[in-house]
Chains A and B, each alone.
With several copies, the nearest count.
Chain A
């Protein structure tokens, strides 16, 4: 059984490029309380030191899929918060 106080209370967020540099690393943990959607998570990240880097063009993937702001986020999901893409 998963213990709510240990695993389920934290969302692990992968960060990339400028976001990883400014927000404290490639993998951060965010308390899950009060976060139900992608929009909630972004609001929380923007409240961090240097959170202004998370601009309006930010992309979020939940479990490897691009996910709009209304997408549900649960502890245990693989959540990635990404600056605008620049491949190719």
Chain B
């Protein structure tokens, strides 16, 4: 099972992976490419990953969710070049009841954003290209750019 993909993400296929006759509640989340970032117009972006660690971390997060709630859950993260509106990430959780489906889906997307080593380079309409978060870090001195930092 590979959680990273360079092909368009098909939500129906992910739903089919986790659906089942005893799982009547299916919660999904799609993250799509927005046309702006911090007030600037975006043309497109590129995702890159530390692939072996990203795959392993995705697998861990899904196992955590399945241990915590009675659900089947899966995810995909797109890599490579994406256009506005493309699906960058998808999470689907199916359970017997909607409470657990929503809770597991939310858990997975939050953990994914905090732990999976993926980076995003945005191309703005004005032609500039920037790695997201890189500038925040350079500006600060001793100040963390995000909550998940280690030092």
Measuring CB to CB, which residues of chain A are less than 8 angstroms from any residue of chain B? 14, 16-18, 21, 39, 42, 52-53, 55-61, 64, 66-69, 80, 82-88
Contacts and interface: CB of A to CB of B under 8 A. Distances in A.
Contacts of A64: 52-53, 56
Given A57-B144, A88-B113, A83 B134 contact: yes
Interface residues of B, number: 41
B31 A57 contact: no
B89 A88 contact: yes
Contacts of A55: 137-138, 140, 145
* B contacts with A: majority SS: mixed
B119 interface: yes
Contacts of A86: 118-120, 131-133
Contact of A18 (B117, B131, B150): B131
Given A17-B48, A87-B119, 11 more contacts: A16-B48, A18-B134, A42-B151, A57-B145, A57-B149, A58-B149, A59-B148, A84-B145, A85-B119, A86-B118, A87-B112
B38 to A, nearest CB: 13
